[in-house]
Amino acid sequence: MTGITAILQRELKSYFLTPVAYVFIVIFLILSNALTFYLGGFYERGQADLTPFFNFHPWLYLFLAPALSMRLWAEERKSGSIELLMTLPIEPWQAVVGKFLAAWLFTGIALALTVPMWATVNYLGDPDNGVIFAAYLGSLLMAGGFLAVGSCISAATKNQVVAFILSVTACLVLLLASFSLVLDVFSVWAPQVLVDTIASLSFLTHFENISKGVIDVRDLVYFGLLIAAMLYANTIVLELKKAD
């Protein structure tokens, strides 16, 4: 755990030593507020809740999470500092987990800065705070899923732009997995059990369940297994690159 903590602290500190952290946070706050109040019709709905706010989170993370994760390993590989990192007395999986947790914690900080909106709806009305808390939890878990996918892809390339594009594409597929646009491609030839399995991989399906206040173990397990699988794949990619 010492190795994970050391990497986490190193990465988290590096965010705030560059404009990356501040630009990310400002963009996230501006976009989330603008989408909520203008496109989401926050006031026009006449309801004291944060449904419009959380409805846009999957699409915000679709671009912001890959923008954050693309540098995790691609930058290390391009600069050559990954060789130094791999010579430290830590296991590759510890470096993977440490970097991921730093990015996830940083995203959590950005998400926590939106809490004044929660206070606002409580001032304006009497919302179901249990549902709002669940939606925050779902948003954080979904962000972790995006970051885990992006981190794995970042480890496979030296080019941050390539890592960003591939991460957006992969995350978009996971977002739309339950849409007929994707399922129709499989339904014409695949058995129904496979179609149902693909549909169950959708970020949106699991996030929407949690954001409604229904914290189902299956949704928590989905995000947990997804993150674990992506971090495991990330470690394997690093080991293969190290062997090259």
Least trusted range by pLDDT, from 19-28, 190-199, 212-221, 232-241: 190-199
pLDDT digits (tens, 9 = 90+) for 31-61: 888 888 777 676 666 676 788 888 889 999 9
Q: Given a cut of 70, is residue 80 above it in pLDDT?
A: no
CA distance 214 to 216: 6
What is the pLDDT at residue 149?
Answer: 94
Domain residue limits at 120: 2-243
What is the pLDDT at residue 197?
Answer: 76
Least trusted range by pLDDT, from 66-75, 101-110, 180-189, 191-200: 180-189
SS3 content of the chain, % helix, strand, coil (to 5): 80, 0, 20
pLDDT digits (tens, 9 = 90+) for 133-147: 999 999 999 999 999
pLDDT-based confidence at 159, cuts 50/70/90?
Answer: confident
Query: Into how many domains does the chain fold?
Result: 1
Indicate the angle between helix axes 129-154 and 160-175, nearest 10 degrees: 140
What is the pLDDT at residue 1?
Answer: 63
What is the pLDDT at residue 79?
Answer: 65
Cβ contacts of 147 within 8 Å, gap of 6 or more? 65, 68, 69, 100, 103, 104, 107
DSSP code of 10?
Answer: H
Indicate the angle between helix axes 92-112 and 57-79, nearest 10 degrees: 140
Please say whether the beta carbons of 184 and 104 come within 8 A.
no
pTM score of the predicted model:
0.89
Residue tagged 């606002």 (tokens): 120
Please say whether the beta carbons of 103 and 14 come within 8 A.
no
DSSP code of 140?
Answer: H
Residue 109 CA, chain-centre distance (Å), reads: 13
What integer is the mean pLDDT of 100-116?
92
What is the pLDDT at residue 37?
Answer: 78
